[in-house]
Amino acid sequence: MRFGRLEGDVRVFTYEQAVARRLNVVAACGLALALAGCSPTMQPRAELTPQPVQPTNAAPTGDTIGAGPVRIALIAPITQGAGQSVVGASLRNAVDLAVQETGVNDITVLVKDDRGTADGAKAAAQAAIGEGAELLLGPLFASGVREAGRVAKAANRPLIAFSTDASVAAHGVYLLSFLVESYVDRIVEFAAQKGKKSIAVLAPESDYGNVATGAVQSAAARVGIRVMAVERYRPGAAQDAVSRVGAVAGQIDALFIPDQAEAMGAIGKQLTTAGIDPKKIQILGTGLWNDARALNVPFLQGAWFAAPENAGFNAFATRYRAKYNSDPTRIATLAYDATTLAIALARSAGPTKFSDSVLTNPSGFNGADGVFRFKPDGLNERGLSVLQIGSGTTTVISPAPRSFSGAPT
């Protein structure tokens, strides 16, 4: 089953920066860093314990979007602290844009404010299901996803969340976000296709670095690349780890560095001093480098990293600005895609429209940020491009796939 291509893509924060900041900074549960699941540490994926909540068909209360017979809900931090949430407003506007463009008579979206808290997410999910929501979109923070997920599973309602914390994914609780593992898998697989045989890892001691390090080791083993060294460093204190990487320079043909753009100038200088020549050793990164600060770093000229292609988001951002006279946050396309998917399923999939078998269709769906599909365990696969940095810009050297083949990995 395929649906029409959704369009969209913009940047206030890059999505990847926000993911890293969310994973790296426990105190980042504030608005500016609200782009990922807000839990202090990455935790093993836990089974969600259902709570005894039963759906009803009460009349909708509060803010709604659309006037269709199928009810879904957006759970988002519409307010946070003492004021309005920029991120929450952007998510709501993205849902509104999707409904106005494609499905005003197909669905009604119940907008529920979780206030950026776990208790708020639980209450929002209960209210939405009590008002007849058949599908929940959101929440944004991992703690909220856990609580809303319990409520949704008890009522046999699927949930499509926007957290990047893979530990909160579960059967029936799907993550639409960009996961660190997706970036790593794509770039490592591409490196193997280009003949790279041995790699070193230079990664910060952070939650983002932990996830990326585990992912690169798994991906390298899967494609037959040898991991010659894994060196870690405290953010801002990479010199010792860099020196150890320099000691294996003659044994590697690729170096993976999952650090943020603003760190790469200093790290690049240290690596150059340590004898790492980026003309001889291919430098690899993640979507964190989809940032002007990385594109002008001398050491990163010629580097490769994985990221979604920007054309769809740019088109979405243009339409968003025209309607709301403001820039969307980078994650706004997640809400837009989730809503457009819900509209397409409501139109075409009949009574099983939001069932697990439909949502986990291995053919996947086309969205603003490219093709994606949900796995039975709640995680996702996305079609990502590989970009090369050069002369202060990027060039797509391996386009994002437009479709999936085979079962999810």
Whether residue 74 is found in the same domain as residue 163: yes
H or E element in which residue 143 lies? helix 142-154
Whether residue 267 is found in the same domain as residue 373: no
Q: What is the mean pLDDT of the chain?
A: 88
Whether residue 47 is predicted with pLDDT greater than 60 in this model: the reply is no
Whether residue 194 is predicted with pLDDT greater than 60 in this model: the reply is yes
Boundaries of domain holding 192: 181-307
pLDDT in tens, 329-358: 999 999 999 999 999 999 988 899 999 999
* Ordered alpha helix ranges (H), 5-117: 15-24, 86-98
Question: Does any domain span residue 235?
Answer: yes
The pLDDT of residue 58 is 73
The pLDDT of residue 144 is 97
Question: Does any domain span residue 388?
Answer: no
Give me Rg for the CA atoms of the chain.
21
Under the banding of pLDDT at 50, 70 and 90, the label for residue 309 is confident
Under the banding of pLDDT at 50, 70 and 90, the label for residue 20 is low
Q: What's the whole-number mean pLDDT along residues 382-409? A: 93
The pLDDT of residue 310 is 85
Q: What's the whole-number mean pLDDT along residues 164-192? A: 96
Residue 304: partners with Cβ closer than 8 Å, 6 or more residues away? 187, 190, 191, 282, 283, 284, 285, 386, 387, 388, 389, 397
Domain ends where: 307, 336, 364?
307
Whether residue 247 is found in the same domain as residue 213: yes
Whether residue 71 is found in the same domain as residue 213: no
Whether residue 128 is predicted with pLDDT greater than 70 in this model: the reply is yes
Q: Give the Å distances, CA to CA, from 188 to 67, 281, 285.
A: 46, 14, 9
* CATH assignment of the domain containing 186: 3.40.50.2300
The pLDDT of residue 59 is 80
Domain count, the chain: 2
Q: Tokens 């940095």 appear where? A: 389
Residue 367: partners with Cβ closer than 8 Å, 6 or more residues away? 5, 6, 8, 312, 333, 336, 337, 340, 341
**Given the DSSP bridges, would you call strands 370-374 and 365-367 parallel, antiparallel or unpaired?**
antiparallel
Whether residue 303 is predicted with pLDDT greater than 50 in this model: the reply is yes
Whether residue 36 is predicted with pLDDT greater than 80 in this model: the reply is no
The pLDDT of residue 405 is 85
The pLDDT of residue 41 is 33
Whether residue 210 is found in the same domain as residue 295: yes
Average the pLDDT over each of 77-86, 180-189, 248-257 and give the range with the smallest value: 77-86
Domain ends where: 307, 332, 362?
307
Average the pLDDT over each of 97-106, 383-392, 395-404 and give the range with the smallest value: 97-106
Question: Does any domain span residue 297?
Answer: yes
Whether residue 33 is found in the same domain as residue 170: yes
Q: Are 79 and 112 in contact (CB under 8 A)?
A: no
The pLDDT of residue 122 is 98
Whether residue 73 is found in the same domain as residue 155: yes
Q: Hey, is 155 helix, strand or coil?
A: coil
Q: What's the whole-number mean pLDDT along residues 124-129? A: 97
Whether residue 271 is found in the same domain as residue 364: no
Q: What's the whole-number mean pLDDT along residues 248-274? A: 97
Whether residue 12 is predicted with pLDDT greater than 90 in this model: the reply is no
Whether residue 321 is found in the same domain as residue 347: yes
Whether residue 33 is predicted with pLDDT greater than 50 in this model: the reply is no
Whether residue 56 is found in the same domain as residue 104: yes
- The tokens describing 33, both together, are 């860093």
pLDDT in tens, 63-107: 999 999 999 999 999 998 767 889 999 999 999 999 999 877 899
Whether residue 367 is predicted with pLDDT greater than 90 in this model: the reply is yes
Whether residue 39 is predicted with pLDDT greater than 80 in this model: the reply is no
Q: What's the whole-number mean pLDDT along residues 303-311? A: 93
Under the banding of pLDDT at 50, 70 and 90, the label for residue 313 is very high
Amino acid at 29: C
Q: Are 298 and 266 in contact (CB under 8 A)?
A: no
